Chains A and B, each alone.
Chain A
Amino acid sequence: MKRPVYLLIFVISVIVGLSLAQISVANQIATTGSELADLQKQVSDYKRDNMVLNEQFLEASSLTNISQKADKLGFVEAKSQVYLNTPLPLALKQ
């Protein structure tokens, strides 16, 4: 007669234990979900910022823009170059 009582207690204990575990996990997931949402928002914000910065970078470094700014600042095109064809006599063996 004792066996069914133990069995019943065991089953109830398992049910209660699992229920508590479920509540605990659900609690954790609820918090994690919120954290995940925050992280997703952060990723989205970073992507947006990155796109804005990329746009600004491309605009600022475009040759069209640099050329216009150089003209305004009075830069002129170099008409000639000097090439040093002869190697400099550095560290030559005597």
Chain B
Amino acid sequence: MIDIMTWRYRVTLLFFLFFFFSILARLFYWQVVRAEELAALGQDQYGRIVKLNPQRGEIITSDGFAIAANKLSYLVFANPKEIKDVNEESAVLSTLLDEDTASISALLSLNRYWVALKSHVDRQTKEKIEPLHIPGVGFEEQTVRFYPEASTAAKLLGFVGKDENGNDKGYFGLEGYYDRQLHGKTGLAVQIHDALGQPILAKMNDTVGEVDGRNLILHVDRTIQFLLDNTLKSGIEEYGAASGMAAVMDPKTGGILAMSSFPTFDPRDYQNYSDSLYRNPFLSDTYEPGSTFKPLIMASALDAGFLTPDTRCTICAGPVAIGGYDIHTWNDQYNANETMTQVIQHSDNTGMVFVGRKLGEDRMLSYIKKFGIGDLTGIDLQGEGTPPTRADNQWYPIDLATATFGQGITVTPIELLTAFSAIANDGKMMEPHVVSAVQTPDGETIPILPKVVSQPVSAQTAKVMTEMMVNAVDNGEAKWAKPKGYRIAGKTGTAQIPIAGHYDANKTIASFIGFAPAENPKFLMLVIIDRPTTSIYGAETAAPVFFKVAKDIMTYYGIPPSE
């Protein structure tokens, strides 16, 4: 009897165990093996995963003003099935949305539950449509990039456009270079559907992974940028130039305080401008620097110990013949036995040939490289280029001679500005930077520290060269434009433009580079006026623009005249 009971008991137990494990196996199959597929199916019935674009970081000038921010805009949508009179509503909406009546009418006639009528509609337009209470018309909030200073610093900032998937993407300037930082991380959320499969806009579950973009804190000073923009623009108009560009740097940190170029574009409306205007010529255009290059060669020769400011030029009595060419001065006037200080003051080409000969080929090329000519500066902006420099064995005597006064050698404006930071900063050349810090959404500020790239010349050489440049401003061709009482170190440049193998005498790139106050420079500035027509000379075009901005900056900084 006991045996039978045990047998029955065991069979029953096995029977239940079999069912138990069968259920367990089935549950494992549904909940583990096919879990993802079933979850997706289930989710598809009540909603779909949508990407949530994070808020783009702001670009903030050093005075705390958001020069690139975000503003609220709206997507206007409609449910065509709720529209009673398509013609009447189309007429009203097309007027308010500034769209073609036929296209609005076509959208409202579609056999759909949801159509987008127009995106990025501003708040004012929304406030005009809303009181009309048109059935079936609604609004979805969006954000759009907003540049409150309009085209100010447009080429420095770049703009926000769309990538191939229709997502926001920064192009050119800071928006392009720092796009990943500004963009943040895209989040995911489930968009709940109603029974008909239409999205219920208010029903969005918790977002996952969305991180807003980081803010950029700039070295750029909004006031200096505004002054530079206005003065440069007026200068280009006044001197009948084709274009112009300028930048201001703090030579002690390499921080870019302002950068401007014209013609320009409005980043709020970039689509309506030519693509060629998006580029920042201060980083990508190459030109022959002309006489603004002379202080670099002179500083090299002083640093190498071959010259002093009082060394006299022994070949400056007339044109200098080299390799079948005659080197003349810019005005064909010659100053025999002039000192090196006077060579810079008179911007004497023959004097610079003398300097080049003293320095020698190898040392000259070595110093040019030390000043970073031929290398990218590493500025944190999209689109920097650098002209290729010729190989060391491809320099002929005439090339070396003309390079001493900035002809036959090409640079980008940012390269020249960076090279001069060494003269203005005790011989230390700084890496140019536009961004001084990055701010995370949590409020943490990550500073970008100033970086010394190299020291091409000694502090003593830099001081001596500064005094020679102060003398050039006080007694040179541009002295008439200099603000009284200030000690400004500077140098004019008038470079002819090479066209088809020769120089066009009537088309020049006029420029002025300098820094102030000479004894403790607060800013270094390069102004370039392209093909001015009222005068071809840098002293009569770029220099007045430089001095006007310099005086305004010193007033802004509260720097009194020292003389």
Please tell me which one of the listed residues B71, B149, B222 contacts residue A51 in the complex, with CB atoms under 8 A apart: B71
B506–chain A nearest beta-carbon distance, Å: 34
Query: Which positions 78-123 of chain B face chain A at CB distance < 8 Å?
Result: 123
**Count of A-B residue pairs with CB < 8 Å:** 45
Tell me, yes or no, whether B481 is within 8 Å of chain A by CB: no
In the complex, A67 Cα to B69 Cα: how many Å? 21
Q: Is the CB of A58 within 8 A of B66?
A: yes
Q: Is the CB of A64 within 8 A of B69?
A: no
Tell me, yes or no, whether A59 is within 8 Å of chain B by CB: yes
Tell me, yes or no, whether B65 is within 8 Å of chain A by CB: yes
Tell me, yes or no, whether B41 is within 8 Å of chain A by CB: no
Q: Is the CB of A58 within 8 A of B560?
A: no
- 8 nearest CB pairs, A to B: A83-B560, A58-B148, A62-B148, A55-B71, A63-B226, A51-B72, A62-B149, A64-B149
In the complex, A58 Cα to B29 Cα: how many Å? 59
Query: Which positions 20-58 of chain A face chain B at CB distance < 8 Å?
Result: 48, 51-52, 54-55, 58
Are A52 and B72 CB-contacts (below 8 A) given A61-B65, A85-B560? yes
Q: Is the CB of B560 within 8 A of A59?
A: no
Which B residues are within 8 Å of any A CB, using their own CB?
A: 65-66, 69-72, 123, 141, 143, 146, 148-150, 152, 222-223, 226, 230, 555, 560-561
Chain B residues whose C-beta falls within 8 Å of the C-beta of A81 in the assembled complex? 555
Q: Is the CB of B149 within 8 A of A63?
A: yes
Q: Is the CB of A63 within 8 A of B223?
A: yes
Are A64 and B72 CB-contacts (below 8 A) given A52-B123, A58-B65, A58-B66? no
Which A residues are within 8 Å of any B CB, using their own CB?
A: 48, 51-52, 54-55, 58-59, 61-65, 67, 81, 83, 85
In the complex, A83 Cα to B149 Cα: how many Å? 32
In the complex, A52 Cα to B122 Cα: how many Å? 11
Please tell me which one of the listed residues B66, B143, B150, B561 contacts residue A83 in the complex, with CB atoms under 8 A apart: B561
CB-nearest residue of chain B to A58: B148
6 A/B residue pairs, CB under 8 Å, sorted by A: A51-B70, A54-B66, A55-B71, A62-B65, A67-B226, A83-B560
In the complex, A38 Cα to B69 Cα: how many Å? 28
In the complex, A39 Cα to B349 Cα: how many Å? 75
Chain B residues whose C-beta falls within 8 Å of the C-beta of A67 in the assembled complex? 226, 230
In the complex, A81 Cα to B486 Cα: how many Å? 13
Q: Is the CB of B146 within 8 A of A55?
A: yes
Please tell me which one of the listed residues B141, B150, B230 contacts residue A48 in the complex, with CB atoms under 8 A apart: B141
Of A52, A59, A63, A83, chain B has the most CB atoms within 10 Å of the CB of: A63
CB-nearest residue of chain A to B70: A51
Chain B residues whose C-beta falls within 8 Å of the C-beta of A85 in the assembled complex? 560
A44–chain B nearest beta-carbon distance, Å: 9
In the complex, A83 Cα to B562 Cα: how many Å? 11
B347–chain A nearest beta-carbon distance, Å: 30
Q: Is the CB of B69 within 8 A of A54?
A: yes
CB-nearest residue of chain B to A66: B226
In the complex, A26 Cα to B356 Cα: how many Å? 89
A72–chain B nearest beta-carbon distance, Å: 16
CB-nearest residue of chain B to A50: B72
Please tell me which one of the listed residues A48, A61, A62 contacts residue B72 in the complex, with CB atoms under 8 A apart: A48
Chain B residues whose C-beta falls within 8 Å of the C-beta of A58 in the assembled complex? 65-66, 69, 146, 148
Chain B residues whose C-beta falls within 8 Å of the C-beta of A48 in the assembled complex? 72, 141
In the complex, A52 Cα to B126 Cα: how many Å? 13
In the complex, A65 Cα to B149 Cα: how many Å? 8
Q: Is the CB of A55 within 8 A of B555?
A: no
Q: Is the CB of B152 within 8 A of A64?
A: yes
Are A64 and B71 CB-contacts (below 8 A) given A48-B141, A58-B65? no
In the complex, A22 Cα to B141 Cα: how many Å? 39
CB-nearest residue of chain B to A62: B148
Q: Is the CB of B222 within 8 A of A63?
A: yes
In the complex, A52 Cα to B71 Cα: how many Å? 7
B23–chain A nearest beta-carbon distance, Å: 26
CB-nearest residue of chain A to B485: A83
